[in-house]
Chains A and B, each alone.
Chain A
């Protein structure tokens, strides 16, 4: 009897605890979302929601004003056969292949040099990093001045050392390579900082131990430093690939896609299709294609780095 009673009292106490527990839970959730809610709502509202909407738009023929016409996957079918888009993809890939390895190689080289205890290192660091702070728009305008065929400094330098003048951004065959040089000028500072940080993380005693064992500088670099930089290299490759695939500002402020479409990139093409020709549906389809490709490349790099035992993520 007393046992039963005790049991009942416990149950009653438990029941009494439920509302207050629920209230506490509700209160905690309100406080939590009070903190996280505004930013989460903004991020989701400005990315997941539009991303889903972009997919719906990509299934339509729509100019933003007239009623949208659902056309299924037609935009994607058109995409595969569009010679201008194909050219834009080719230009973007050429740029990526030129830009990513050179920015990694140059960044690593400069970082190794800046990691030595030498004079003027602060001055060198500042010089190499400052272009990264300048916007791509300002960089593009500056570059179109420096590489101007008539009065640009680049041709003045070529003249002085007795080399033939170049057309640079006005030449169909050179424009993309010149844009790549400009992009390197503006972006290498980033890779340098990332590698510099990684180099300073390498324990000094490991390097010293290797030196004690009779390794020369090159062997230390090859067998100690380089493997330690593996994860950072995966990170910079992915980061710079994404940057390269999204090239737009520099093209807009140097060549506007010219001469004769030679520097038209995928994002520039999306901009033209969507906002100049108001083909919202087709523009969205191309943007989705770019997204899918970026995702594929990123995942591919991560899987590859895992396989080769480089733990970057």
Chain B
């Protein structure tokens, strides 16, 4: 975006002020996320840079909030840090439990969403697919329908999943999904599916169908064709879809608030409680860890995108 030679002085002034405006907007975008990182090392329980922090005095910084993540909810947080202490932390510390739950729920819902979503994307990208647009609209809708509405519907349905059978006159009682891991996993898979569909269909748009025909003409059966030709080429798309699904589950709080029981406390739910009650700088420590986590994910997705472009021989445009 170079300034042309014939630019008038007014245009030059506008050009530089435009760059200044853009810089300010970039700061607006990124500063809120970065500012919490140093604040999470604050030695004082404040949300602002203390005198000592500003003068880079080591006394102004500490790891106490990270330490409190580990000890929160333990039976004997101040004991000597031997094997028993760590076992106590692993079993009782609330943030550690929340992390375990988030990972378990995220893992299984991602597997489910990626499997079903990839299968459906393969079907949707076939030219013969009937009612493609309408079906696509239904499959994407969990992303568009406000979460509060989805969660409200799920709250009723998951408290008694068999109540639907009443519509056709069958018995309507068969236990509940609300308050179980299965229920939360199913709900999170539903919310993650649109992301898998969007990413995988986007990859399939660039997929050359003649490769499949070439494989078939060389004698490969459909299964071999799929695993040896199609799958390796769409794999980057599938993995980034899976990452999206995982992040959706990892970041989801509304459905968890409505359908999870006390056993399915996840990181976002624990954060939600923390922010609602008394916001403590320990939240900033969690936030910092999550920011680093999202930087890692972003890097992975970017590398995958480049790899898929290289494989398909498209230069970025």
- Asked if A and B are interacting partners, one says no
Taking Cβ atoms with an 8 Å cutoff, the residues of A that contact B are: none
Taking Cβ atoms with an 8 Å cutoff, the residues of B that contact A are: none
